[in-house]
Amino acid sequence: EDQVTQSPEALRLQEGESSSLNCSYTVSGLRGLFWYRQDPGKGPEFLFTLYSAGEEKEKERLKATLTKKESFLHITAPKPEDSATYLCAVQEMDSSYKLIFGSGTRLLVRP
């Protein structure tokens, strides 16, 4: 059965304290792995798509990496405005384009 597991469930950081979020996945064939950011009461905001092991993508203080079993979202010198829930999702190599979401990591960055 396809699964996506994110850890930790919640993470509290001081402003400037770098850390990483983990997303481990089990899927028969990976078309892509997606990272989204979700603020309370809003829809998810697209951040990155990774397609193959070894791929990396960056956007401001965020950097996403991918292996055959997991993905990491590295946050460098976070700011309070980075506080949000970060969602990981995988898309199978089928024709449905459906996303299988993890339960998310709630990040709080304190000033």
Partner 1 sequence: GAVVSQHPSRVICKSGTSVKIECRSLDFQATTMFWYRQFPKQSLMLMATSNEGSKATYEQGVEKDKFLINHASLTLSTLTVTSAHPEDSSFYICSALRGGSSTDTQYFGPGTRLTVL
Residues that bind partner 1 (CB under 8 A): 31-32, 34, 36, 41-46, 49, 51, 87, 91, 96-99, 101-104
Residue placing its CB nearer to partner 1 in the complex, 18 or 26:
26
Q: Name the pairing type of β-strands 56-59 and 30-38.
A: unpaired
Longest Cα–Cα distance in the chain = 45
- Nearest distance in Å: CB 56, partner 1: 16
* Neighbour-count burial of 41, counting CB atoms closer than 10 A to its CB (0-12 exposed, 13-18 middle, 19+ buried): exposed
> 80 pairs with which residues across the strands?
none
Residue placing its CB nearer to partner 1 in the complex, 4 or 13:
4
End-to-end Cα spacing for the chain: 41
- Nearest distance in Å: CB 101, partner 1: 5
Residue placing its CB nearer to partner 1 in the complex, 67 or 103:
103
Q: What is the DSSP letter of 40?
A: T
- Nearest distance in Å: CB 99, partner 1: 6
Residue placing its CB nearer to partner 1 in the complex, 43 or 111:
43
